[in-house]
Amino acid sequence: MMRSARHAKILEIIKEKEIETQEELCAELAACNFSVTQATASRDIKELHLFKVKGSKRRFRYATITEKEGGISDKLRSLFQDCVEEIRVAGNLIILKTINGNGGSAGNVVDRLDYHEVVGTVAGVDTTLVICDTPAGAQAVSDKLSVLLKL
């Protein structure tokens, strides 16, 4: 019960304020009578699938992405466009070069797109490796991602 209430409060906080760090999130939660450690905040961020996006007042802020039926949300599309710098195909693999710190965000976007050709993703700090079932599948996914990048 406490976790679901805390998750609801986190979503409310990030909707109202630009929260850039886990420490800031902990402080905001403490102000709302939720005593959490940085490790708990980190786990909550992961469970809620929060992303860092460009903020209007700060460099980055946490945001949540909601899917629209039949496609991806504008926020998801914007996140992908903001963080991916290059898409390269190598056999059945796709390498996404991202701005520093956004490899995981790009990987999460690809995972949420749920392309049937994608077997899985592995994310680093500034790179995401997309593993496809075949070289033809990798090329097809690369083409889709390139279109998404240019929209």
Same domain, 78 and 146: yes
Residue 35 lies in a domain: yes
Kindly give the interhelix angle for 38-47 and 2-16, rounded to the nearest 10 degrees: 80
- Answer yes or no: is 69 within a domain: no
Do 96 and 129 fall into the same domain?
yes
In this structure, what CATH number is given to the domain that contains residue 97?
3.30.1360.40
Give a yes or no: residue 103 inside a domain: yes
Residue 81 sits in the same domain as residue 146: yes
* Domain co-membership, 113 together with 138: yes
pTM for this prediction: 0.56
Tell me the β-bridge partners of 53: 61
How many domains is the chain partitioned into structurally? 2
Model confidence pLDDT, tens digit, residues 65-107: 554 433 577 778 888 999 999 999 999 999 999 999 999 999 9
Per residue in 4-42, pLDDT (tens digit) is: 999 999 999 998 999 999 999 999 999 999 999 999 999
End residue of a domain, out of 63, 90, 116: 63
CATH of the domain at 19: 1.10.10.10
At which residue do the structure tokens 């906080």 appear?
A: 13
Residues 125 and 88 in one domain: yes
Residue 89 structural domain: 74-150
Q: In terms of Cα–Cα distance, which of 45, 76, 83 is closest to 62?
A: 45
33-66 confidence digits (pLDDT tens): 999 999 999 999 988 878 777 777 877 888 775 5
User: Would 119 be classed as within a structural domain?
Assistant: yes
